[in-house]
């Protein structure tokens, strides 16, 4: 379920931003920014589940690799997309 929400939210931000640029309608900006935050939060929830549910991925090289990779993309989506990109793009 988290993966589905992540993929849907990740697929929405670009079309919403393009529509915002074409129409100037502020609701598209809210949808685009909201989708970036939903993307980041679903990834954060995924990391939390990977860490607190050892049955999902046993502690091994692959478990550490899964948590590391998910942490990296979460950092990117949270910091670079939802915070930095939104603050810099809105000034343009």
Q: What is the pLDDT of residues 31-46, one digit of tens each?
A: 999 999 999 999 999 9
Helix, strand or coil, per DSSP, at residue 88? helix
Full domain range(s) for residue 66: 2-89
- Range list of H helices, 1-60: 2-23, 26-52
Contacts of 27 by beta carbon, 8 Å cutoff, 6+ apart: none
Q: What is the pLDDT of residues 8-18, one digit of tens each?
A: 999 999 999 99
* CA separation for the pair 77, 84 (Å, rounded): 10
């Amino acid at each position: 379920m988290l993966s589905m929400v992540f993929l849907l939210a990740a697929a929405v931000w670009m079309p919403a931003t393009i529509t915002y640029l074409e129409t100037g309608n502020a609701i598209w900006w809210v949808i685009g920014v909201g989708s970036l935050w939903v993307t980041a939060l679903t990834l954060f929830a995924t990391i939390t589940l990977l860490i607190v549910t050892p049955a999902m991925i046993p502690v091994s090289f692959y478990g550490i690799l899964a948590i590391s990779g998910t942490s990296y993309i979460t950092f990117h989506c949270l910091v670079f997309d939802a915070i930095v990109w939104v603050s810099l793009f809105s000034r343009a």
